[in-house]
């Protein structure tokens, strides 16, 4: 059973999410929170498997709450919001969120994301990754010397860099396999090597690494 805590300042939204999730086998809504501080408190008390977290909430916003919850190891966090501005995405992912979806996502996609994250993987809406990729593509090349590349970049093989760039675009393992004309098992092996070499927790951290190292635009 996947136990979920819903954190959103709108009661009607929480009710809608509860109806969707409780209609699914293997998912239970453990509680509801109307602000970030309450989400942190309930996550510590209820120890849910996952928190569905809104960003803009009173008392404490969802990004700060996400950082506290993930730092405490209370639960994994799926950020779900109507706001898809780039700074919110980056801040949420840096805070330790395991996923980021927009609130207009189909109910089936929300359920799928919850199951994926609860299983230990991560998910970022392709719409979000495309926006981030576009943002980085528009950034001018700096005239000053660049900072050193993130640690671990030199240890990657050329194929691992290719896979990392495609992960950053939001592609699934199956889509990457089709793009590179290899088997899905081969892609899974490359992703495993990337996680190990870069000491990354999940695919979300791989996405962040790809943007920081400049591989996302390749």
Question: From the centroid of its chain, how far is CA 159?
Answer: 24
Dist CA 177 CA 13 (whole Å): 37
Nearest CA-CA partner of 204 in 110, 114, 94: 94
Model confidence, pTM:
0.69
Quote the mean pLDDT of the chain: 83
Span of 31-45, 103-117, 135-149, 157-171 with lowest mean pLDDT: 135-149
Q: What is the pLDDT of residues 54-65, one digit of tens each?
A: 988 999 999 999
Q: What is the pLDDT of residues 159-183, one digit of tens each?
A: 999 999 888 877 778 889 999 999 9
Establish how many alpha carbons lie within 13 A of residue 157's alpha carbon, considering only the half-sphere containing its beta carbon.
Answer: 8
Domains of the chain in start order, with CATH, are 2-124 (3.40.50.2300), 153-217 (1.10.10.10)
Nearest CA-CA partner of 88 in 36, 33, 30, 131: 131
Q: What is the pLDDT of residues 126-164, one digit of tens each?
A: 666 555 555 544 544 443 334 455 567 778 999 999 999
With vertex at residue 122, the alpha carbon angle to CA 119 and CA 126, rounded to the nearest 5 degrees, is: 135
């Amino acid at each position: 059973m996947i136990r979920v805590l819903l954190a959103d300042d709108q009661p009607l939204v929480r009710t809608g999410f509860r109806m969707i999730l409780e209609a699914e086998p293997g998912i239970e809504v453990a509680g509801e929170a109307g602000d970030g501080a309450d989400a942190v408190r309930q996550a510590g008390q209820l120890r849910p498997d996952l928190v569905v977290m809104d960003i803009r909430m009173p008392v404490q916003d969802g990004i700060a709450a996400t950082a506290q919850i993930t730092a405490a190891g209370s639960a994994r966090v799926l950020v779900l919001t109507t706001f898809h501005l780039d700074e919110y995405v980056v801040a949420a992912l840096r805070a330790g969120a395991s996923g980021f979806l927009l609130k207009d996502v189909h109910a089936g996609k929300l359920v799928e994301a919850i199951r994926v994250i609860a299983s230990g993987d991560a998910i970022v809406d392709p719409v979000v990754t495309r926006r981030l990729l576009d943002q980085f593509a528009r950034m001018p090349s700096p005239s000053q010397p660049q900072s050193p590349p993130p640690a671990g970049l030199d240890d990657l093989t050329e194929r691992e860099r290719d896979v990392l760039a495609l992960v950053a675009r939001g592609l699934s393992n199956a889509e990457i396999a089709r793009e590179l004309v290899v088997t899905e098992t081969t892609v899974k092996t490359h992703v495993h090597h990337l996680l190990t070499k870069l000491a990354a927790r999940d695919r979300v951290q791989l996405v962040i690494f790809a943007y920081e190292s400049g591989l996302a635009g390749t």
